[in-house]
Structure 1
Amino acid sequence: MTGARIREIRTQRGLTVAQLAEAAGVSTGLISQVERGRTDPSLETLRKIAKVLQLPLFSLFQEQDTKAVSVIRENNRMLVASPVGGITYSRISPGHGRLEMLKGHLPPGGYSAVEPWSHPSEECVLVLEGRLIVEVSGVQHDLSVGDSCYFHSSLPHRYLNPGDTPVDFVIAVTPPSY
């Protein structure tokens, strides 16, 4: 499903597999395997592809349903996991529109990215369970249950779990971006 969507958007943009791979800094073989559904790309690879295609990351999984009211059942959420850092995101918004809502989960010692990264949005995170460090422009903000943090996502940022218990949180991103 994701690979087919990447292929669809790539061809709409008039890009070859080689052009997309070069611009994303990944191998042509990887793009080909992803598009054919033979491998699942990492979260970092998806971010690179989305950036080249100038799309929000989760739009690679986007449903084309634009109902005025959408109900997203917990067992039908889109799930993205990163093999690096251990973070998982499930999309709790419908996948279209100007607001993206994600539920994040970080295991003890986990992180959202090796290095802080930025994208053109605004972000607000709310801690549901555990302790979360929100690092923005090199400054660490320590959040506990019920605490929230708002920032411009154009500033380099990432999420860290310094504790020995998992952390669950909700993120609102507007507009959705890579």
Structure 2
Amino acid sequence: MIGARIRELRTVRGLTLAQLATEAGVSSGLISQVERGLADPSLETLRKIAKVLDLPLFSLFQEPDASAVAVVRRDGRMLVRSPAGGITYTRVSPGHGRLEVLEGHLLPGGSSAAEPWSHPSEECVLVLRGRLVVEVSGAEHVLEAGDSCHFDSSLPHRYLNTGDEPVDFVIVATPPSY
């Protein structure tokens, strides 16, 4: 499904496969394989593609029709894994509108990104279980279960699990961004 969605969005924007690949900094072969459903892109690759397409990351998974009321069932959530970072996100919100809600699961020693990154949005993160380090502009903020942190996402940031136990958390971002 994601490959077809990427092809659709690329075509609507008038980009060739090679143009998308070049702007995203990945190979044309990878984009081709993703679009044909032969390869699963990493979370980092999806971020790069979404940025080139000027869309929030999870809009790559969005269903075309959006209704006024959306129910997202636990077993119907969109899932994105990052094998290198040890992080998993599921989209709790329906994927359209001005608000995005994600549930995150971060393994011990894992991070949301290799390096802090920024995007035009604001975020609030709430830790459900475990201990999460929120790095924003080089400063580390340690959150325990029940703690939250709000920040401007245009500042370079990432989430880290420096502990020995998995961390579960919820992120709310508005507007949805990369």
Offset of residue 24 of structure 1: 0.3
Match of 1:142, SS? strand
Partner of 1:164: 164
Q: What's the TM-score, normalizing by structure 2? A: 0.99
More divergent stretch after superposition (130-139 vs 65-74): 65-74
Offset of residue 33 of structure 1: 0.3
Residues 1:6 and 2:3 aligned together = no
Summarize deviations over 1:130-150 as a string: whole Å, max 9, x none: 000000000000000000000
Summarize deviations over 1:96-147 as a string: whole Å, max 9, x none: 1000000000011111000000000000000000000000000000000000
Structure 2 residue identity aligned to 1:27: S
Q: What's the TM-score, normalizing by structure 1? A: 0.99
Structure 2: unaligned runs, 5 residues or longer: none
Q: Partners in 1 of 2:4 and 2:162 — Cα distance?
A: 37
Residues 1:139 and 2:135 aligned together = no
* Contact 1:64 1:96 (C-alpha < 8 Å) held by counterparts: no
Partner of 2:31: 31
Partner of 1:176: 176
Runs of 4+ in structure 1 deviating by more than 4 angstroms, as ranges, are: none
Match of 1:134, SS? strand
Q: Partners in 2 of 1:13 and 1:68 — Cα distance?
A: 26
Q: Equivalent pairs: percent with the same residue? A: 78
Residues 1:109 and 2:96 aligned together = no
Structure 1: unaligned runs, 5 residues or longer: none
Offset of residue 68 of structure 1: 1.7
Offset of residue 65 of structure 1: 2.9
Offset of residue 85 of structure 1: 1.0
Partner of 2:46: 46
Q: Partners in 2 of 1:11 and 1:177 — Cα distance?
A: 21
Offset of residue 67 of structure 1: 1.6
